[in-house]
């Protein structure tokens, strides 16, 4: 809606400017007639419209651009990746933090059990060596040490089995990416626990391609705040199916930009597919005429012509053009409306044939 209003304002502005230019043209002609044909300062700096190969060409040298506050700039190279808008929600991380605490507790128990088992093994080896030439008392010591080793090994296998079961259950619920963070990246879990990061779950319907890895998604909070989210990992399929999608993914976003409670619904623009190279057309370069978007591009030194733009891919600050333009091409980025008005004015003047 905002861009539509801008288009309406731009067209209205073109008409108004055209009327002023028509009036100025008439006054210049009157002035030239009254002064013996000598043109004034305005005539020297006004855009001149001509025709070449059926296309209108506007001649506008650097002095004229400067005096009319018109700016010409080179187009910057850019890239674009298709995005799909889907719904996401802020996750309740308390179960994940509880899982981490349980796992750390079980891990500490396992390490202590392993230390006891290793100590029992050392004691058993020492008892066997010391009791090699002793009588029955020595044999009893060796047997007792062996029993302690066997008992400690049973306990160690038990806690290792429990750790494995906890890890498998965690992977089934939270996916490999978060479990890896649980085991190898405690700082990531610390940020979640400290509410410095948000964990966001995004569900994709059947048939949608997987989101591009290592490419950020844009999250829109209910109050309009934008967050940049990084892909963590996919969810296991059974969990994703339960969330009304055929696939689901975890993203991490900084929490300092918005205070969002667990369960808050969000709009997430998920990048997908390959990246396309092109140029970025600044929004200030675009004018609207006859239901289309145009820019004035330099075709020769000091000469500019209108070229159509497909405003189907908005990006911050303008539009992405995958073709039809080359990085470095010169376009009018400020004052293009004046050139469009000059074309309107040309309907009331004799158009020259460009050489």
More confident residue, 129 or 349: 129
Instruction: For the chain, give the mean pLDDT.
Output: 78
**β 48-52/352-353 pair status:** parallel
The C-alpha atoms of residue 73 and residue 244 are separated, in whole angstroms, by 49
The C-alpha atoms of residue 168 and residue 175 are separated, in whole angstroms, by 10
User: How many percent of the chain have pLDDT more than 70?
Assistant: 76
How many Cβ atoms from other residues are within 10 Å of residue 344's Cβ? 17
Per-residue confidence (pLDDT) for residue 307, from 0 to 100: 92
Q: Contact, 13 vs 20, CB < 8 A?
A: no
Q: Contact, 60 vs 300, CB < 8 A?
A: no
More confident residue, 259 or 74: 74
**Any idea which of 14-28, 47-61, 125-139, 149-163 has the lowest mean pLDDT?**
14-28
Q: What is the pLDDT of residues 151-180, one digit of tens each?
A: 888 888 988 898 889 888 888 888 887 888
Give the chain as a 3 state SS string: CHHHHHHHHHHHHHHHHHHHHHHHHHHHHHHHHHCCCCCCHHHHHCCEEEEECCEEEEECCHHHHHHCCCEEEECEEEEEEEEEEEEEEECCCHHHHHHHHHHHHHHHHHHHHHHHHHHHHHHHHHHHHHCCCCCHHHHHHHHHHHHHHHHHHHHHHHHHHHHHHHHHHHHHHHHHHHHHHHHHCHHHHHHHHCCCEEEEEEEECCCCCCECCCCCEEEECCCCCEEEEEEEEECCHHHHHHCCCCEEEEEEEECCCCCCCCCCEEEEEEEEEEEEEEEEEEHHHCEEECCEEEEEEEEECCEEEEEEECCCCEECCEEEECCCCCCCCEEEEECHHHHHHHHHHHHHCCCEECC
Architecture of the domain delimited by 84-92+196-276: Beta Barrel (2.40)
Per-residue confidence (pLDDT) for residue 348, from 0 to 100: 59
Per-residue pLDDT band for 74 (boundaries 50, 70, 90) equals: very high
Residues 6+ apart with CB under 8 A from 289: 11, 14, 306, 340
In angstroms, the Cα distances linking 117 to 28, 43, 79, 155, 164 are: 103, 99, 59, 8, 19
More confident residue, 336 or 27: 336
Q: Is the pLDDT of residue 353 over 60?
A: no
Which residue in 255, 315, 352, 302 sits closest to 60, CA to CA? Answer: 302
Which residue in 226, 224, 270, 275 sits closest to 245, CA to CA? Answer: 270
Per-residue pLDDT band for 296 (boundaries 50, 70, 90) equals: very high
Q: Is the pLDDT of residue 134 over 70?
A: no
Architecture of the domain delimited by 2-80+278-353: Beta Barrel (2.40)
**β 352-353/292-300 pair status:** unpaired
User: How many percent of the chain have pLDDT more than 90?
Assistant: 13
Two tokens, residue 160: 């290792």
Q: Is the pLDDT of residue 268 over 70?
A: yes
The position carrying tokens 């303008």 is: 318
| Average pLDDT score over residue span 69-84 | 89
Q: Is the pLDDT of residue 227 over 80?
A: yes
């Amino acid at each position: 809606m905002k861009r539509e209003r801008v288009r309406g304002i731009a067209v209205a502005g073109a008409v108004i400017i055209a009327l002023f230019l028509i009036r100025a043209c008439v006054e210049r002609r009157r002035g030239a007639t009254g002064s013996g044909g000598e043109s004034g300062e305005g005539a020297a700096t006004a855009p001149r419209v001509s025709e070449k190969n059926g296309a209108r060409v506007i001649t506008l040298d650097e002095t004229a651009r400067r005096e009319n506050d018109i700016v010409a700039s080179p187009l910057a190279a850019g890239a674009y990746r298709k995005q799909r808008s889907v719904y996401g929600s802020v996750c309740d991380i308390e179960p994940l933090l509880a899982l981490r605490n349980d796992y750390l507790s079980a891990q500490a128990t396992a390490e202590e059990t392993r230390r006891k088992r290793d100590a029992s093994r050392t004691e058993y080896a020492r008892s066997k060596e010391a009791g090699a030439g002793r009588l029955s008392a020595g044999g009893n010591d060796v047997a007792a040490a062996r029993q302690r080793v066997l008992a400690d090994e049973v306990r160690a296998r038990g806690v290792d089995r429990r750790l494995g079961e906890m890890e498998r259950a965690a992977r089934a619920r939270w996916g490999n990416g978060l479990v890896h963070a649980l085991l190898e990246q405690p700082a990531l879990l610390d940020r979640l626990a400290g509410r410095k990061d948000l964990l966001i779950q995004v569900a994709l319907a059947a048939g949608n391609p997987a989101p591009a890895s290592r490419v950020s998604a844009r999250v829109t909070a209910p109050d309009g705040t934008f967050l940049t989210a990084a892909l963590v990992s996919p969810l296991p399929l059974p969990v994703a199916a339960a969330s009304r999608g055929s696939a689901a993914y975890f993203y991490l976003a900084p929490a300092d930009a918005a205070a969002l409670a667990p369960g808050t619904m969000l709009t997430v623009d998920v990048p997908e597919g390959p990246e396309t190279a092109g140029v970025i057309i600044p929004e200030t370069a675009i004018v609207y005429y006859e239901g289309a978007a145009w820019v004035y591009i330099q075709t020769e030194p000091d000469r500019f012509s209108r070229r159509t733009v497909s405003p189907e891919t908005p990006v911050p600050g303008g539009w992405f053009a995958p073709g039809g333009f080359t990085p470095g091409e010169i376009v009018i980025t400020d004052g293009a409306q004046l050139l469009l008005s000059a074309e309107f004015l040309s309907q009331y003047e004799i158009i020259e044939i460009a050489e």
